[in-house]
Amino acid sequence: MAKDWPLWEIFIRGQYGLSHRHVGSLHAPDAEMAVLNARDVYTRRNEGMSIWVVKSADITATAPDRKGPMFDPSNDKTYRHPTFFDIPDEVGSM
Amino acid sequence: MFEFLLRMGDNTLVLGHRVSEWCGHSPVLEEDIALANISLDLIGQTRMWLGLAGEIEGKGRDADALAFRRDAWDFHNLLICERPNRDYGHTLMRQFLFDLWHHERLADLCLSEEGRVAEIAAKCVKEADYHLERSKDLIVRLGDGTSESHEKMQAALEALWPYVGEMFTDDEVDTAMKEVGIAPLPSRQRPRYDAALNAILSKATLARPESDFTHRGGRYGTHTEDLGHMLAQMQFLQRAYPDARW
Amino acid sequence: MSRADLIDDLLAGRAKYSSIFNYPTLNWADIGAVGWLVDGAAIVNQVALQRTSYGPYARAMVRICKEESFHARQGYDIMMKMSFGTEAQKAMAQDALNRLWWPALMMFGPPEAESVHSAQSMAWKIKIMSNDEGRQKFVDQTIPQIEYLGLDIPDKEAKLNKKTGHYEYSDPDWSEFFDVLKGNGPCNVDRMAARNKAHDDGAWFREGLLAHAEKQQIAAE
């Protein structure tokens, strides 16, 4: 069985002010090559200002079967959003 | 100046075409894309150099006409650019030896007193900078990697070494270019090239060949057998259907 | 399942790839026709797949569709230049269209009744559109594009049904399709040989870079 290069997750920041976004993954022998490969695979159409690479194996994720307890409790808490509060028109936008 | 521009444009055209031959056949997907990008960069640079060459010549030939309607003896690229791909290590070594020269050359040309040359060089130098970063990295990694990769890179270096010296030979075209402030003499670049080369080779644990023999001729239109075959393929369509536009 | 496993499967002939890649590209117009027809057909499937229930696939499809759309447009641009060019260019364009039309129709897979996985995939909403629906969509969008180019439609029977608003078209030769799947297309052997050669020739390169990375890692620790 052939040995694969490690898998890397690629994050790219498009323009100043926006945060890095996950765009996909690729294989590379090490971090520096992952950055170079990411430049060639994911920024050919003027998408990038900055690249982050993270070894996929280093990412800890929530388990899909814990979706309920993890995320459902925040579903019904509308008072945590700014639109919960009515502000009179006279005071202007807020 | 026409001659000088042809040399710049023919280098990138011929090497760009060679590199494109790998498309779909590289050792790994990421490499395939990277190499195709380099090839496209080089062909894009060709458009600029040959475009300007056609303008200077003033006979109504555009970049396409110059690329597809000249025979081998009218090409003025360095011989190293037309050498066949052989294995992937050979291709990468050729790229590295070229990039190291090309990047420096373009950096010099950014200071050209001819505005249009400086402008093109400024666009190309950023691409060449990236090409060099990649090829440098790969040479170091593969030289150091396994004993097999080390041997392949050393063999490639030995095979291509006799084509390095041509980059630094001066002739009457170069002297003329120097006199009008368009481009410095190629020979001036050699010490910088050697210093950078030695540093990379030592990091890559590769031994610099001792011979200082150099093949030459490409810059005057005397080529290896490989160029004619390449042009036959590259120019087929334009030659077979000369009245068509694509 | 890693990429190495997927590539091993492909090289050993266990994995399937699109049957159209087993057809040759013979003249410059093929560069246009492949982009236009093959990627055009792929988009019909892939646009639908952006809504597939399988998340990772759906996300990848968004980016893939952008690329395919670029290819299709670039391909059509080549076809326009050739169809509106010299007689020889137009003949090349027609030749490429004639050869690729039927394999492009086959890309959607056999009719529902004969498709092995289709019903199951539809039930799971992995697949959003049936083979025949996709094919109809492709025919409907492509025939007017052929007419614009002034080329002949390779299917002599194709005609617009005014009532349904859809084109009626002839089936491709499905026995040819199954032959190609079995490995008997014009290029199956060459394509697989090329993939295997690239992979085998590149082994030292992949291993060399990995060995260097491992040495660096050990040195750092």
Q: Residue A81: phi, psi to the nearest 5? A: -110, 145
Residues in chain C with CB shorter than 8 Å from the CB of B138 are 209
User: What's the ipTM?
Assistant: 0.93
Q: Report which of B15, B219, B187, B11 is spatially closest to residue B108, judged by C-alpha positions.
A: B187
Alpha helix ranges (H) inside chain B: 2-20, 29-57, 63-68, 79-82, 88-109, 115-144, 147-160, 172-179, 190-203, 225-234, 236-240
The predicted structure's pLDDT at residue B11:
98
B243 at C interface, C-beta within 8 A: yes
Residues in chain C with CB shorter than 8 Å from the CB of B150 are 208
Across the interface, whether the CB atoms of C202 and B149 are under 8 A apart is answered: no
For the segment C1-26, the average pLDDT, to the nearest whole number, is 91
**pLDDT above 80: residue C113:** no
3-state secondary structure of A27: strand
Q: Report which of B113, B116, B103 is spatially closest to residue B41, judged by C-alpha positions.
A: B103
**pLDDT above 60: residue A1:** no
Pairwise CA distance, residues B145 & C213, whole Å: 8
Across the interface, whether the CB atoms of A3 and C3 are under 8 A apart is answered: no
Q: Residue A74: phi, psi to the nearest 5? A: -90, 0
Structure tokens given for A68: 């309920």
Q: Which residue of A has its CA nearest to C66?
A: A45
Q: Which stretches of chain B score pLDDT less than 50?
A: none
For the segment A72-76, the average pLDDT, to the nearest whole number, is 83
Number of structural domains (chain A) is 1
Q: Where are the domains of chain B?
A: 2-205+219-240
B151 at A interface, C-beta within 8 A: no
Pairwise CA distance, residues B193 & B168, whole Å: 10
A26 at B interface, C-beta within 8 A: yes
**pLDDT above 70: residue C30:** yes
B130 at A interface, C-beta within 8 A: yes
B151 at C interface, C-beta within 8 A: no
3-state secondary structure of B78: coil
What DSSP element (H or E) covers A54?
strand A50-55
The predicted structure's pLDDT at residue A2:
55
DSSP assigned state of A76: T
Mention every residue, 6+ apart, whose C-beta is less than 8 A from residue C7.
A2, C199
A42 within some domain: yes
**Closest chain C C-alpha to A37 CA, distance in angstroms:** 13
A49 within some domain: yes
Pairwise CA distance, residues B178 & B171, whole Å: 11
For tokens 């023919």, the residue is B10
**Closest chain B C-alpha to C176 CA, distance in angstroms:** 27
Q: Which residue of C has its CA nearest to A3?
A: C4
**pLDDT above 70: residue C27:** yes
- CA C99 to chain centroid: 14
Q: Which residue of B has its CA nearest to C77?
A: B246
Instruction: Say how many CB pairs under 8 Å bridge B and C.
Output: 75
Residue pair B182/B114 in contact (Cβ under 8 Å)? The answer is: yes
Side chain identity at residue A17, one-letter code? G
Beta bridge partners of A27: A7
Buried b (16+ CB within 10 A) or exposed e, B175-184: eebeeeebbb
Q: Where are the domains of chain C?
A: 24-158
A79 within some domain: no
**Closest chain C C-alpha to B197 CA, distance in angstroms:** 20
A24 at B interface, C-beta within 8 A: no
For tokens 């990138």, the residue is B12
B71 at A interface, C-beta within 8 A: no
Q: Which residue of B has its CA nearest to C90?
A: B244
CATH of the domain at A34: 3.10.20.520
How many CA atoms are closer than 13 Å to the CA of B201, on its beta-carbon side? 19
A14 within some domain: yes
The predicted structure's pLDDT at residue C48:
79
DSSP B109-138: HTT-SSHHHHHHHHHHHHHHHHHHHHHHHH
A41 within some domain: yes
3-state secondary structure of B154: helix
Q: What is the CATH number of domain B2-205+219-240?
A: 1.20.1260.10
Q: Report which of B211, B97, B102 is spatially closest to residue B160, judged by C-alpha positions.
A: B97
Across the interface, whether the CB atoms of B141 and C202 are under 8 A apart is answered: no
When CB atoms are compared, the residue of C4, C212, C217 closest to A1 is: C4
Structure tokens given for B186: 């190629």
Mention every residue, 6+ apart, whose C-beta is less than 8 A from residue B146.
C204, C207, C208, C211
A45 at B interface, C-beta within 8 A: no
Across the interface, whether the CB atoms of A27 and C209 are under 8 A apart is answered: no
Could you report the per-residue pLDDT of A10-67, keeping only the tens digit for each? 999 987 778 999 999 999 999 999 999 999 999 888 777 899 999 999 999 988 888 8
The better pLDDT of the pair C123, B30 is held by B30
Could you report the per-residue pLDDT of C139-160, keeping only the tens digit for each? 999 999 999 999 999 999 999 9
For tokens 């990694």, the residue is B141
**pLDDT above 60: residue C170:** yes
Per DSSP bridges, beta strands C159-161 and C166-168 are antiparallel
Task: Give the range of the structural domain holding residue A51, as residue numbers without chain letter.
Answer: 7-61
Pairwise CA distance, residues C25 & C44, whole Å: 22
Beta bridge partners of A9: A25, A54
Q: What is the CATH number of domain C24-158?
A: 1.20.1260.10
Chain A residues with CB under 8 Å of a chain C CB are 1-5, 7, 23-24, 27, 29-30, 33
Residue pair A29/A45 in contact (Cβ under 8 Å)? The answer is: no
Residues in chain A with CB shorter than 8 Å from the CB of B32 are none
**pLDDT above 90: residue A92:** no
Pairwise CA distance, residues C197 & C191, whole Å: 10
**pLDDT above 90: residue A82:** no
For the segment C178-193, the average pLDDT, to the nearest whole number, is 95
Q: How many residues does chain C have?
A: 221
Q: Report which of C83, C86, C75 is spatially closest to residue C36, judged by C-alpha positions.
A: C75
B37 at A interface, C-beta within 8 A: yes
Across the interface, whether the CB atoms of A33 and C209 are under 8 A apart is answered: yes
